[in-house]
Amino acid sequence: MVSHHRELSTQRCAPKSLSRWNTAVAAHETCALPGTLMTATAETFSAGLPVEVGQIHRELKKLWDAADGVMTRASLINLAVYSEAPDSLGKNTAIVARLTEEHACRAIVIAANPGAPESRVEAWISAHCHVSRAGSKQVCSEQLSFSLQGRQCGFLPNIVFAQLDSDLPLYLWWQEEFRAPLDPQLWAWIDRVIYDSQTWGHFGEQLDLVEDAQKEARHRIVLCDLNWVRLVHLRLALAQFFDHPATHHHLDEIKALEIEHAPEFRSTALLLVGWLAGQLEWERSPGKGKSLGFEKETEAGRRRIGVALHEKKGEPISGCQITTDSAEFRIEHRAGADLLDVFFGRTKGRKMRQMLPAGKNDVVELVREELMRGGPHRIYLRAVAQVRDLL
């Protein structure tokens, strides 16, 4: 999971509020604090128990103090989720319920409406409880929910900081496009910022804003792009072609790369191109403007690599083919399939086919994948640098 593993307390849920559900709660089921039972759909998810903002910690303590030894509060990270979508509070509560099955955290879910004529703030508290792997007790993650209206949106940093769980790392999942100026007070506290560049209208402008925030935070913020996470299983499948030293010579013989992508996922395909170019030290062909031509210096001389992107309905990346002088490497992801069809064949020689995990283009699965990973994501930054002007 994350590098900062810590269980902050062994306090228990209030028995009066949850005892009637205890026998019914199965593995990975979610429950709520007083007055709410969280159901399986976003439309019916409740924000929880309404509280005054200034009384949140007191109300949480009162609930956990009424312990009966059934449920344990756990927290490994602070996860703040920010959205301005009208229906985001219910949807993000449903998402957090699924995330906490594997990643215990204190979730701070914020629904904001900066353009509202009236300024106000509302708050709720709830919990997501799941049976532990040992099956003996339920592990619960707290959720604090906020609705910010009008000028109250300007107090976002104060609200987030006031609700952080001890010194645990802060992950901010920003579901909107970034707007200048970014508040340096907020960004100075963030350890990792999660976003999805696939939804950005202007990649360069957005990344400039994020990089400015990084500088304000003295480069402590790690950029976590869900658009990059979409490529994890595909990148693993491509890399395994060249794992064995006997296949390394193919890397210098690559002459063509073709990628099939869904119409709205061109940026995902370009990140895949950037990854290959960055890892294999390809250089953009001179005098080609924004074309996808690349070159590489090899022992046999300078070699040109042609790159072509094709739109095709289906998965974000439905196909990828690398062609060399003597072989073909192909990966296909059929619509809805949970496996990748991986093919390798020599022009004159043996051929091989296997199936590998494909992953899912599901927001919860993407965030789960990201939460399992650490490090500064330098390979992502290298990939972006290769194709930044094309995104």
Write the pLDDT tens digit of every residue in 135-149: 666 788 999 999 999
Q: Are residues 148 and 249 in the same domain?
A: no
25-29, 169-173, 214-218, 339-343: which range is least confident on average?
25-29
pLDDT of residue 293: 86
- Kindly state whether residue 119 falls inside one of the protein's structural domains: yes
Q: Are residues 172 and 233 in the same domain?
A: no
Q: Are residues 253 and 162 in the same domain?
A: no
- Kindly state whether residue 34 falls inside one of the protein's structural domains: yes
For 149, the domain range is 15-176
DSSP β-ladder status, 170-174 and 138-149: unpaired
Smallest Cα–Cα separation from 72: which of 127, 2, 143, 1? 127
Give the Å distances, CA to CA, from 131 to 9, 11, 308, 367: 17, 16, 48, 21
Helix (H, G, I), strand (E, B) or coil at 35: coil
Share of the chain above pLDDT 90, in %: 58
What band does 288 get if pLDDT is binned at 50, 70 and 90?
low
Q: How many domains does the chain have?
A: 2
Residue 33 predicted with pLDDT over 60? no
pLDDT in tens, 60-98: 887 777 656 667 888 899 999 999 999 899 999 999 999
* Residue that is last in its domain, among 115, 149, 176: 176
Give the Å distances, CA to CA, from 197 to 126, 249, 274: 30, 34, 14
- Kindly state whether residue 197 falls inside one of the protein's structural domains: no
Q: Are residues 162 and 266 in the same domain?
A: no
Q: Are residues 240 and 307 in the same domain?
A: yes
Helix (H, G, I), strand (E, B) or coil at 21: helix
- Kindly state whether residue 183 falls inside one of the protein's structural domains: no
- Kindly state whether residue 210 falls inside one of the protein's structural domains: no
Q: Are residues 241 and 138 in the same domain?
A: no
- Kindly state whether residue 100 falls inside one of the protein's structural domains: yes
Q: Are residues 249 and 147 in the same domain?
A: no
Q: Are residues 164 and 255 in the same domain?
A: no
Q: What six digits make up the tokens of 27? A: 């593995």
Any idea what the Cα angle at residue 124 is, between residues 121 and 128, rounded to 5°?
145
- Kindly state whether residue 8 falls inside one of the protein's structural domains: no
pLDDT, greater one: 230 or 184: 230
Residue 327 predicted with pLDDT over 90? yes
Q: Are residues 249 and 363 in the same domain?
A: yes
- Kindly state whether residue 214 falls inside one of the protein's structural domains: no
Quick check: 152 and 121 in contact, CB under 8 A? yes
The enclosing domain of 283 has a CATH number of 3.30.360
Q: Are residues 144 and 275 in the same domain?
A: no
Amino acid making up residue 287: G
* Residue that is last in its domain, among 176, 201, 220: 176
Q: Are residues 126 and 264 in the same domain?
A: no
pLDDT of residue 205: 93
- Beta bridge mates, 346: 327
Number of H helices, E strands in the chain: 11, 17
Residue 32 predicted with pLDDT over 60? no
Q: Are residues 257 and 160 in the same domain?
A: no
Q: For the residues 166-189, what does the mean pLDDT come to?
A: 88
pLDDT in tens, 146-174: 999 999 998 898 888 889 988 899 999 99
- Beta bridge mates, 147: 111, 122
